[in-house]
């Protein structure tokens, strides 16, 4: 029986470029969909993300070595013939000399060849897998402009064609990929999950068609530049199932999916489409739908989720196939649930150490057994020669002429005083000056105390940072501001300080994103209030927030001006329309609301002409001429008004 496997990579916090907001959420969302909704065992969904092990214990830290090791292990040891393999990447991508790269968490955009993962290598490893059922979905974000992005994805598309691997890219090579606070995902991942979860995209062709339609809609809906997917879909894989057959029954159906399903029944017998979709659950009309709790509807869904998962109008000759098939699926699902609970208890991985504390060791190559011997751990002239020497004590650290014994005693006294004052880092610095031959029991006690207190402080500060992250709730700018203030408690000397600062940077941008989202739906006051929470010590985001505030304040003023003009209108009184037009003419082309004001001016100019014509029809020619003369120049109604004036003057 075939299995479903997934390698899911999502990286927010990079060491060399500014962080992303929702790459972690993308990978975790895909994993949760596969595990919780499709019933894929969690052991078969390999998650690589920079999220804390305390929050996501099943995640591997996404260094270059770890990503390469996990991909090779999946392709060369775990995936079997006819298995389905998903490979998903959400993070930064870059290109150099025509070569596309994934940027791992430890990648450096200035040294791509040494620190990044070449897409050519990824395709070569995928081709070693014993299955041809592979889907590669890539969201290589480069919208921040922090790394090279000229024609990024072009080589990936060519590789996909050459290797004949279905490949979904989040955008065209000349476009940008976007993420937004409103969906808490990248738009690409949002569309993928929508398509599979709600719209019956169970084959790669159906998903590709959905992405082509939905992704541009999402980008426009969320006020982002247009984003269209770039897709390579070899003909031999066009109707390849991308959802496990026993997981299809768990998915809700929509009217659109039902139409697709009904259309699939019309495929000619013997075609790939008919053969592939023949394995899909297809209950006959009148068969009760499997009861399930309805999922919460997707944001901005294209079609309403129907209450029934049963497609109408299905031929009765499918009944015999699926009455027994659904029973078998139910048994498999029950077994899958039991297996998944066993997997949680048996295969849980120990939390990985923080990357700032311990550098991850290279994993052994496939097929290489780890050594049980400790000889490799012993210092040798070879490995000592590759280790940087300990820094020499500065010449000014101790008074000149001090003997080694006296210097050590002085260092111990200084270290003891530093520990008493709570300056444990300083104490460890003093203790590092004591040579090995002078390291007494008193030295060992002080060294252990300093290290213990430093470790305890690090744990406390990690707890503070986690507390700051837990404060956040969606679309609440004030809670992000509270999280920022909490994260500021971590001192500069702490190992978590840089991570806290990166979180503050990211949360500051999220606050501005919330403000822009409020402005987009017309909540200008709320947008200004949110933007004012952007901290001053983040100059780039703060300056942009101030620009937005000035723009929105001007927009508020102009909105009030439009409302004032609207309220001043008096039916049948042409002069009131002229005065309203004069008010709106204060709004200049460089101000927000200018086009809306021009639309009002055009409409009100036509209304003045209507009033003038009504007076002329009543024989009040002079009053009609006086009204028509109020139509402002530069409007479509002005020329018509001048022609009417000449005609009415001739009649007078």
Q: How many CA atoms lie within 13 A of 226 on its CB side?
A: 8
CA distance 352 to 429: 27
CA distance 325 to 319: 10
Q: Where are the alpha helices (DSSP H) in 347-496?
A: 381-385, 404-420, 424-431, 441-471, 477-487
Helix axes 594-617, 574-584, angle to 10 degrees: 160
Q: Is 86 left (phi over 0), alpha (psi -120 to 50) or beta?
A: beta
Give the Cα-Cα-Cα angle 308, 313, 318 (nearest 5 degrees). Answer: 95
Q: Where are the alpha helices (DSSP H) in 472-538?
A: 477-487, 497-520, 524-531
What is the DSSP track for 310-346? --TT--GGGHHHHHHHHHHHHHHHHHHHHHHHHHHHH
**Per-residue CA distances from 548 to 46, 463, 511, 561, 613 (Å):** 41, 35, 12, 20, 45
Q: How far is CA 210 from the centre of its chain?
A: 19
Whether the pLDDT of residue 393 is over 70: the answer is no
Longest dimension (CA), the chain: 120
Give pLDDT tens digits for 312-347. Answer: 333 333 333 333 443 344 444 434 433 333 333 333
197, 37 contact by CB (below 8 A): yes
Pairing outcome for strands 45-49 and 59-60: parallel
- At residue 395 the predicted structure's pLDDT band, cuts being 50, 70 and 90, is very low
CA distance 535 to 213: 39
**Per-residue CA distances from 38 to 93, 188, 249, 315 (Å):** 29, 20, 9, 26
pLDDT of residue 13: 87
- At residue 415 the predicted structure's pLDDT band, cuts being 50, 70 and 90, is confident
Q: Residue 241 gets which letter from DSSP? A: B
Pairing outcome for strands 133-141 and 99-102: unpaired
Give pLDDT tens digits for 502-523. Answer: 889 888 988 888 888 778 767 8
Give pLDDT tens digits for 133-155. Answer: 999 999 987 644 444 456 789 99
pLDDT of residue 638: 92
Give pLDDT tens digits for 533-554. Answer: 999 999 999 999 999 999 999 9
Give pLDDT tens digits for 227-247. Answer: 999 999 998 888 888 988 777
Sign of CA dihedral 19, 25, 26, 27: positive
pLDDT of residue 142: 63
- At residue 463 the predicted structure's pLDDT band, cuts being 50, 70 and 90, is low
pLDDT of residue 388: 43
pLDDT of residue 443: 78
Whether the pLDDT of residue 221 is over 80: the answer is yes
Mean pLDDT (whole number) for 430-438:
76
H or E stretch including 66? helix 64-73
CA distance 79 to 100: 26
Give the Cα-Cα-Cα angle 571, 573, 574 (nearest 5 degrees). Answer: 120
**Per-residue CA distances from 434 to 250, 397, 418 (Å):** 66, 12, 15
User: Of the ranges 286-295, 386-395, 407-416, 438-447, which one carries the lowest mean pLDDT score?
Assistant: 286-295
pTM for this prediction: 0.45
Mean pLDDT (whole number) for 162-174:
93
Give pLDDT tens digits for 32-75. Answer: 999 988 889 999 999 999 876 656 777 899 999 999 999 999 99
- At residue 251 the predicted structure's pLDDT band, cuts being 50, 70 and 90, is low
Q: How far is CA 76 from the centre of its chain?
A: 30
- At residue 297 the predicted structure's pLDDT band, cuts being 50, 70 and 90, is very low
Q: Where are the domains of the chain?
A: 4-346, 404-461, 497-558, 571-651
Percent of the chain with pLDDT over 70: 70
CA distance 377 to 380: 9
Token couple for 212: 């082509």
**In terms of Cα–Cα distance, which of 53, 51, 46, 90 is closest to 68?**
46
Percent of the chain with pLDDT over 90: 32
CA distance 136 to 485: 40
CA distance 262 to 288: 18
Topology of 4-346 in CATH?
Rossmann fold (3.40.50)
220, 228 contact by CB (below 8 A): no
Whether the pLDDT of residue 383 is over 80: the answer is no
- CB within 8 A of 495, min separation 6: which ones? 354, 356, 357, 458, 461
634, 618 contact by CB (below 8 A): no
Whether the pLDDT of residue 276 is over 50: the answer is no
User: Of the ranges 96-105, 390-399, 408-417, 578-587, which one carries the lowest mean pLDDT score?
Assistant: 390-399
pLDDT of residue 119: 96
- CB within 8 A of 139, min separation 6: which ones? 23, 26, 89, 90, 91, 170, 177, 186, 188, 189
**Per-residue CA distances from 248 to 34, 39, 312, 332 (Å):** 11, 10, 17, 12
Mean pLDDT (whole number) for 255-283:
37
125, 72 contact by CB (below 8 A): yes
Mean pLDDT (whole number) for 244-273:
48
- At residue 472 the predicted structure's pLDDT band, cuts being 50, 70 and 90, is very low
Average pLDDT, the chain: 75
**In terms of Cα–Cα distance, which of 302, 319, 299, 300 is closest to 310?**
319
- At residue 588 the predicted structure's pLDDT band, cuts being 50, 70 and 90, is very high
Mean pLDDT (whole number) for 352-357:
39
More confident residue, 214 or 360: 214
Beta bridge partners of 117: 102
Compute how many other C-beta atoms are within 10 angstroms of the C-beta atom of residue 619: 9
């Amino acid at each position: 029986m075939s299995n479903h496997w997934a390698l899911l990579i999502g990286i927010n916090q990079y060491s060399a470029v500014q962080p992303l907001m929702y790459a972690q959420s993308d990978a975790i969302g895909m994993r949760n969909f596969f595990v919780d909704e499709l019933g894929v065992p969690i052991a078969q969904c390999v998650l690589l993300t920079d999220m804390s092990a305390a929050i996501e214990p099943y995640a591997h830290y996404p260094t270059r070595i770890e990503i390469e090791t996990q991909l090779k292990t999946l392709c060369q040891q775990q995936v079997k013939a006819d298995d389905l393999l998903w490979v998903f990447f959400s993070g930064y991508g870059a290109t150099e000399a025509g070569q596309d790269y994934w940027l791992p968490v430890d990648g450096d955009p200035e040294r791509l060849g040494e620190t990044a993962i070449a897409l050519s290598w990824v395709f070569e490893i995928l081709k070693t897998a014993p299955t041809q059922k592979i889907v590669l979905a890539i969201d290589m974000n480069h919208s921040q402009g922090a790394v090279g992005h000229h024609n990024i994805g072009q080589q990936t598309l060519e590789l996909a064609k050459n290797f004949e691997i279905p490949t979904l890219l989040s955008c065209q090579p000349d476009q940008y990929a976007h993420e937004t606070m409103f969906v808490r995902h990248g738009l690409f991942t949002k569309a993928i999950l929508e398509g599979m979860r709600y719209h019956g995209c169970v084959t790669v062709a159906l998903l590709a068609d959905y992405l082509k339609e939905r992704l541009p809609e999402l980008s426009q809906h969320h006020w982002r530049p247009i984003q269209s997917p770039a897709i390579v879909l070899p003909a031999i894989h066009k109707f390849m199932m991308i959802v496990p057959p026993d997981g299809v029954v768990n998915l809700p159906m929509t009217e659109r999916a039902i139409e697709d399903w009904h259309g699939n029944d019309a495929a000619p017998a013997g075609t790939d489409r008919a053969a592939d979709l023949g394995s899909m659950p297809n209950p006959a009309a009148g068969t009760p739908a499997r009861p399930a709790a309805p999922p919460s509807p997707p944001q901005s869904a294209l079609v309403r989720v129907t209450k029934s998962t049963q497609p109408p109008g299905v031929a009765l000759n499918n009944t015999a196939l699926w009455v027994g098939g659904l029973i078998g699926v139910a048994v498999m699902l029950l077994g899958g649930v039991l297996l998944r609970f066993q997997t949680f208890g048996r295969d849980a991985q120990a939390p990985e150490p923080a990357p700032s504390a311990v550098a991850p060791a290279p994993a052994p190559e496939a097929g290489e057994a780890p050594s049980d011997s400790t000889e490799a751990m012993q210092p040798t002239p070879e490995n000592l020669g590759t280790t940087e020497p300990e820094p020499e004590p500065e010449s000014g650290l101790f008074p000149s002429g001090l003997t080694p014994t006296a210097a050590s005693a002085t260092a111990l006294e200084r270290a003891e005083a530093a520990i008493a004052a709570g300056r444990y880092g300083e104490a460890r610095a003093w203790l590092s000056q004591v040579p090995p031959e002078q390291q007494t029991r008193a030295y060992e006690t002080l060294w252990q105390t300093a290290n213990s207190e430093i470790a305890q402080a690090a744990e406390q500060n990690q707890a503070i940072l986690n507390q700051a992250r837990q404060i956040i709730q969606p679309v609440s700018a004030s809670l992000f501001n509270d999280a920022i203030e909490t994260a500021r408690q971590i001192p500069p000397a702490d190992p978590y300080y840089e991570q806290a600062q990166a979180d503050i940077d990211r949360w500051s941008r999220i606050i501005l994103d919330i403000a822009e989202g409020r402005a987009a739906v017309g909540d200008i006051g709320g947008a200004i209030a949110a933007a004012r929470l952007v901290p001053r010590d983040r100059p780039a985001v703060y300056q942009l927030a101030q620009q937005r505030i000035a723009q929105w304040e001007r927009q508020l003023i102009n909105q009030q001006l439009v409302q004032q003009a609207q309220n001043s209108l008096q039916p049948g009184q042409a002069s009131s329309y002229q005065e309203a037009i004069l008010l709106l003419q204060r709004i200049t082309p460089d101000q927000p609301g200018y086009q809306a004001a021009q639309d009002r001016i055009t409409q009100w100019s036509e209304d003045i002409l209507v009033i003038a014509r009504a007076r002329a029809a009543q024989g009040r020619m002079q009053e009609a001429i006086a009204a028509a003369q109020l139509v402002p120049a530069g409007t479509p109604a002005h020329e018509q008004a001048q022609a009417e004036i000449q005609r009415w003057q001739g009649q007078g």
